[in-house]
Amino acid sequence: MRKMGSLLLAGLFLLACNNEKKTDKPASDNDSAVTADNKNTAPSPPPATKALEEILGSFVGAFGDNKITLLITKAVGDSVIGRSIVGGNDRPFSGTFVFDNGIYTVSAKEPGDHKDDGSFSFTVSKANLNEISGSWRPNDTKRPSKTYTLQRKKFEYRTDVGTWPQSSQRLLKAKDVENYSKEELEFMRNEIFARHGYCFNRKHLRQQFEMEDWYVPNTVDIKGFLTDIEKKNIELIKRYEKYAEEYGDEYGR
């Protein structure tokens, strides 16, 4: 009897263990299935949006009778933002671009609240990121469209360029300016602004400096950029411009 009781108890114990194992195993399998399903069906996180730095930069070249600087300052997702600096104007533009077969195609518009605003269309090839080419269509339908091919060129302030580089390097003395005509003094003074990338509104000055390779139109406001030396030299040159205008005939100029 004792032997049979022991066998009965052992059998009950084994049965209980087997049931527990059977119960645990499906639960574990079910958990694994849920985890696998979740991995397969959960949406992937969206790829991080990053700026397309390779098309950003400053591009410079002929734009009709003027020189233009086209600045691409931001390109994220399919949007592009920048500025156009030409003819004494500094205008923002914004638009979109697509990338296909190694070519970025950009379509962008200026705000439209200025008489010289219009729309840009241009392409940038991944094979040559240093050049853009395209067209500009003015909002004023009476004006002609323009085509252009621009080269990547970054504005750089330099004091060693121009006909009178000393006007940005040191304080000028009377002997440095007293023997020039009014027109020469005007160019000497404005050459200081040109070195800072000032985009001239006056046509004769614009045409004069746009012939220079070192000149890159970059801004229409140079307040805060002029050095103390340049400010003092500008005042000196202006005084002699006035003298040259008043007494030019007397001195044979």
| Domains held by the chain: number | 2
Domain edge (last residue) among 152, 186, 207: 152
Q: Can you tell me whether residue 82 is helix, strand or coil?
A: strand
* One domain, residues 201 and 243: yes
121 part of a folded domain = yes
86 part of a folded domain = yes
| pLDDT tens digit sequence for 116-173 | 999 999 999 999 999 999 999 999 999 999 999 999 999 999 999 999 999 999 999 9
| pLDDT tens digit sequence for 21-59 | 444 444 444 443 333 344 444 444 333 344 578 999 999
129 part of a folded domain = yes
* One domain, residues 60 and 125: yes
Domain edge (last residue) among 90, 120, 152: 152
* One domain, residues 144 and 112: yes
Query: Residue 69 pairs with which residues in a beta bridge?
Result: 60, 85
* One domain, residues 63 and 142: yes
Q: Among 70, 78, 79, 218, which Cα is nearest to 133's? A: 70
Domain that holds residue 225: 165-247
Q: List the CATH number of the domain containing 75.
A: 2.40.160
* One domain, residues 189 and 106: no
* Spatial distance between the Cα atoms of 249 and 146, rounded to a whole number of angstroms: 44
26 part of a folded domain = no
* One domain, residues 170 and 137: no
pTM: 0.75
Task: Tell me 43's DSSP state.
Answer: P
| pLDDT tens digit sequence for 170-227 | 999 999 999 999 999 999 999 999 999 999 999 999 999 999 999 999 999 998 999 9
5 part of a folded domain = no
* One domain, residues 124 and 211: no
Domain edge (last residue) among 152, 173, 194: 152
* One domain, residues 108 and 169: no
The helix (H) or strand (E) run that includes residue 18 is helix 2-41
